[in-house]
Structure 1
Amino acid sequence: MAPHLEFGKTTNLFNLPEELLSYICDETDLDSLIPLVESCKTFNRIAGSNYLRRAPYNPDKSWLRVSTQGREEFSENLPDNRPTYTFVLKEISFDALKNLTCILGSMRDIKHIHVTFSESAPIPIQQMRVLVLTLRRIHHILSSISVIFTGQGPSSKPSESFSSFNELFEDMIQEVQRTQCRTLRIQGIVPLAHGSFDFNPPVNRSLTHFLIAEEMPFPMVITEPFHHWLVRFINSSPAISSLEACCSEEWTRILPVICLPSLQSLGFYGPIPSTQTDMQVLAEFSNRHRGLNSLFCGRQVKGFSASPSVTGWVSRLTRLTGTVSQLCCILSPPSRLPALAQITIDSEKSADNSFQLWDLFALLCKFSTVMTLRVSLALPDLQGNFLAEDTSSLSLRSKFPHIRSLQFSESLEFLQHSTIQDEELVRWASQVFPSTRGLQVSALPSWTSSHNASFARAVAQFWPSVKTLAFDFKTKDVEAWYQDGGSSALNSRWPTSQISTIQV
């Protein structure tokens, strides 16, 4: 039993041996350690170490994950309707974070910060204040900061509290720059209030990856009057090599005034708004950024109704993702993109009947440099094209001997509802893709392990070039899938010796 001590009489307490002080901390409940931590440097070191050892803290000390309640398991929704994954990772509450910031040295190993704010006002303001305080305790370079806002943004009648949030958001951005953070992700609706928010960020040569994904229909940062600040922030970060955004019409005004000399990757995600971004703007942006090698057009960028006036896209582009209509527009003529190595065909929500899937395939045949093809068309698109023609003649229309890695995402789900058998599809695919060595099938929730085994058996029998097969990113040799019934899985990835690139 710990001795009875009056902590207010610190003079006598500090005369005790450190072994006894450590014993006192061991016998003190966790929450009561924090007043000791705040009392003096000696107890900050002793009680602080005790708190860190006993607190429910993420064992990976390089990651700091924070949410309102804290949790040990959470799901991550990947962009573009890709599968949802559940991770077992510790998140601490904002109260626990506030306690941690009191302990000297508690942040020395932190490299990544991931914060999810409450959806209830004015709690996000209080939580943002804790985050800013935490960042001010960090005196080393951070690798990434991710902030996720789960609320609906400020009310129609901005209050003084939301004006305070503007100041705190500005403080956060300044701390991001001070810590030389390399990756910044802002997701959800940032609850900014209309008013004074016009600070000029200094030049930041550390930030290399920036994601701004505000949810529709209430984006704040990319709309007036805040998008002027966003433009200044982006242009003051010349080292940005990757820019991702939830696309909307506002980007039609933002892209023309952005200049990023180091940009290599540009991606748009998110649902289609009522009005779409013009691809003409995207093409002109591409032509101004000659180092761009990866482009994700997004489903909400509308293609040209006729040949574009822009003379050509950036010739160094190696990875391209777009809908059928977008790709038909960009890839004609084929001489535009001599370095293209990976193409992803995305679902087209508002299908344009003038562009057909097989017309696109005919174009793709001319790109001999492309070694990776990902087809993520939704059920109606691919089902209509397969069932519209005799599968025995499809292989005569297009052949892709250069494709080494092939991925179907959602595309084959229609096999559950059609008369086409696995064997028919595999026979056709073996003729169209005779050199494919790695095949990946994902986002097929209705496929059972027995169906996986049946499909793998057909691949082994009729598609001999395929050596590795993956179902939802679990990869094995083709024979292994049907020898064990398709029930087990290895956590390996695509063998690098067999494919060039893969998009997950």
Structure 2
Amino acid sequence: MVTLMDLPEELLCSICEKAEPSTLLSLAASCKRLNRIAGSQYLLFISHDSQRPLLFVADKETSIAMSFNTLRNIMSIAGSTSRVTTVTFQFSFSAEKTLQQIRLATFLGVKSDIPYFSPSFNMFPSFNGEFGRLLWEAHRLRCSSLTLFGIIPFTQDCFKFSPLINTSLSYFAVDAAFLLSRAQRGWLIELLNASKAISHIRAYGSEGWTHILPKLRLPSITGISFIGKAVGTPSAIEILAEFCNRHQNLCRIDCGSYQSKTSLTPCQYSLSQMQELRASVSQLLYFVSDPSRLCNLKVIEIQCPELDLHLPSMSSHSTTGLWHLFSCLCDRPSIQELIVPANFPGLEKDVLSKTQSSLESRFIYLTKLQFREFHSLAEPARQDFLKWSSKVFPSLKSLELAYSMSMGWDAEQTSCFARTVAKELPLIENLTLEYRTRRVREWIEDPLESTKA
């Protein structure tokens, strides 16, 4: 008796092309050979791109999200999620249904070894219990990265379960609206302190963290990032500095909305372990105005002063603070890379008018410079920025223009710009355009090489 397995592959493919989706799934589950043939046909039928690195899974199928049922079907086909690196789950309103979805989500994590696990919940009465089960599953699976975001329907009471000691979790991200309420802060502190391997925390918004940071003890932490603005009174940057002082492995910080209560109050801690610092002008001045502080700093990113408006001397319409910062940084031999927003308010005007204050500082030690938002400059200003850079950064060996792909240069314009770089900054060896780093000479001679495939 002839079975499907006896048929040639061409005929099996033809049969699968005419089969219903439910039949394809049954065939795919029968053996490895049909899993490949029928499974591939099923993925084509539902228009699933197996190369897609991001998945959004929701309780109901939408134009941007697949349903949990579709996810279950896809998971039954070998290789269908092999390229996935990040999955975001929007769970059901039903507690019972959500638990089933959580089990499927955690099974996907085990099956595909996906590093980023991002749950978001709808409202339902028994959220606390289901959330506890989710964290227990993450603990059991030795999850290394946990991102929690969204508006969560917390009760007024604290959670009734205690976090388990976790030696696997190394990355933790939390939204400003999540777990920062007064009733839950103690539980969050307990969760973080129980996670001995955490090396990086990413927090969206800093409001509430002024109460949390002083109580954290994280021996493995090497980086902390605060993203977005705080609600209400700006948080005190002194609390962040004290946290850094207590954690001697912490070498990278993004200050977010943490502000100094007074302008130019110098940091009282040496923070010699600090290597990378991303902050606004007023925040950076707080840390580096005293040359004995942060003496091993290697990378500095200057962020636009959205939250500096309460400091008159650091008005977002003045570059006074920026040039003061430059004067504090230029004599630091440890600094290797400086990241400057080209759209910093007033910067283009000062550079074009060649104001004396913009030329007083010379970074003789700096070898790498990055301009963010370089595409925001008009064409003449781009040339002037190079001339200005040659005076302020005379030792540069590497120049990067972030977001330069938005400038719309053709081959001749790219080559012309590279020639200007070579003329104005003769020590430059590497030039990064369109997220590609090449020798300056290569950009001049073959500007389109980066687009060849």
Using structure 1 for the length normalisation, give the TM-score.
0.73
Identity percentage of aligned residues: 26
> How many Å apart are 1:475 and its aligned residue?
3.0
Q: 1:257 to 1:347 in 2, by over 3 A?
A: same
After superposition, residues 90-489 of structure 1 pair within 5 angstroms as 93-100=67-74, 103=76, 112-117=85-90, 122=93, 126=97, 129-136=100-107, 142=113, 144-147=115-118, 149=120, 162-187=124-149, 189-194=150-155, 197-214=159-176, 219-298=177-256, 300-305=257-262, 308=265, 311-351=268-308, 352-355=311-314, 356-376=321-341, 378-386=343-351, 390-391=354-355, 393=356, 396-410=359-373, 413-415=376-378, 421-443=381-403, 447-449=407-409, 452-483=414-445, 489=450
* AA at the equivalent of 1:162: F
For 1:65, the equivalent position in structure 2 comes to: 55
Question: Do the aligned residues in 2 keep the contact of 1:379 with 1:410 (CA within 8 Å)?
Answer: no
Structure 1 residues 377, 235: CA separation in 2 closer, same or farther (over 3 Å shift)?
A: farther
Q: Aligned equivalents of 2:249 and 2:191: distance in 1?
A: 20
Contact 2:367 2:396 in 1 (8 A): yes
Letter in 2 for 1:207: L
SS at match of 2:124: helix
Q: Which runs of 4+ in 1 moved over 6 A?
A: 15-18, 20-25, 44-47, 104-111
CA distance in 2, matches of 1:414, 1:106: 45
Structure 1 residue 469: Cα displacement:
1.9
Shift of 1:266: 0.8
Q: CA deviation at 1:481?
A: 3.9
- CA, structure 1 residues 100+447, in 2 after alignment: closer, same or farther (shift >3 Å)? closer
* 1:108 Cα deviation from its structure 2 partner: 10
Letter of the aligned partner of 2:57 in structure 1?
Answer: S
- CA displacement at 1:357 relative to structure 2: 0.6
The answer to whether the Cα contact below 8 Å between 2:210 and 2:239 also exists between their aligned partners in 1 is yes
More helix by share: 2
Per-residue CA distance 1:329-358 (angstroms, 9 max, x = gap): 101212211221111111111333424111
**CA shift in 2, pair 1:145/1:448, >3 Å:** closer
Is the Cα contact below 8 Å between 1:208 and 1:239 reproduced in 2? yes
| Number of residue-to-residue matches in the alignment | 431
Secondary structure in structure 1 of the residue aligned to 2:249: coil
In structure 1, C-alpha distance between the alignment counterparts of 2:266 and 2:394, rounded to whole Å: 37
- Aligned mates of 1:259, 1:270 — CA distance in 2: 24
Q: TM-score, normalised by structure 2?
A: 0.80
Structure 1 residue 440: Cα displacement: 1.0
Per-residue deviation, 1:375 = 0.7
Aligned residue for 1:406, secondary structure, equals strand
Alignment of 1:30 with 2:16, yes or no, is no
| Contact 1:142-1:181 within 8 A present in 2 as well | no
Q: Partner of 1:55 in structure 2? A: 42
- The separation in 1 between residues aligned to 2:102 and 2:115, in whole angstroms, is 14
SS in 2 for 1:135: helix
Q: Is contact 1:313–1:336 with CA below 8 Å preserved after alignment? A: yes
Question: Does the CA contact (< 8 Å) of 2:253 and 2:277 recur in 1?
Answer: yes
Post-superposition CA distance 1:127-158 (Å, at most 9, x none): 67424334147657945233264xxx86xxxx
Output the amino acid matched with 2:216: I
* 2:9 counterpart of 1:19: no
Task: Tell me the distance in 1 between the aligned counterparts of 2:80 and 2:36.
Answer: 12
Unpaired runs of 5+ residues, structure 2, are 315-320
Contact 2:348 2:381 in 1 (8 A): no
Aligned Cα root-mean-square deviation (Å): 3.9
